[in-house]
Amino acid sequence: MKFLLDVSALLSLGVLDHEFHDRTAKFLPKNGITELATCAITELGFVRVLAQAPQYRFTVAQARDLLARLKKADVVKFTFIVDHHDVTHLPSWVKTAKQLTDGHLLELAKANGAALVTLDRGIPGAVLIPD
């Protein structure tokens, strides 16, 4: 099965000094995960957070390079999910602005034979990376 990483999970996997890096890095092999996916939202979010967060001090170019290196690493296979979903695909549990991206990513993952992987406990149906 394919697993779509949300932005927080992708960040925690790609940034060695991220507070949840070890948690995410241990979760993948422990659960036999060999194929991960990204999409435009998760990749753009990865670059945006690294370029914006003062604790990382990345430029956009450095963040893009890090993501490219992560996706080329031999540890796990990465695929890219093309996003053809509009707002009509949002699940009914999405009621607030904070839930929009989560709901979108969950439905995008399902439509592409994947599961959404996250550090966020508030996404019904997603695979939670445990503490």
Query: Domain-by-domain residue ranges, the chain?
Result: 2-128
- DSSP result, 30-51: HTT--EEEEEHHHHHHHHHHHH
User: What is the CATH code for 2-128?
Assistant: 3.40.50.1010
Residue 88 per-residue DSSP state: G
Q: For residue 86, what pLDDT is reported? A: 93
pLDDT single digits (tens) 98-112: 999 999 999 999 999
Distance CA 9, CA 37 (A): 11
Residue 120 has a pLDDT of 94
What pLDDT, on the 0 to 100 scale, is given for residue 28?
Answer: 83
pLDDT given for residue 1 in this prediction: 82
Cβ neighbours for 72, distance < 8 A, ≥ 6 positions apart:
78
Q: What is the mean pLDDT of residues 59-86?
A: 94
φ, ψ for residue 115 (rounded to 5)?
-115, 145
**pLDDT band for position 11 (cuts 50, 70, 90):** very high
Mean pLDDT (the chain) is: 94
pTM: 0.93
Range in 23-32, 42-51, 92-101 the model is least confident about: 23-32
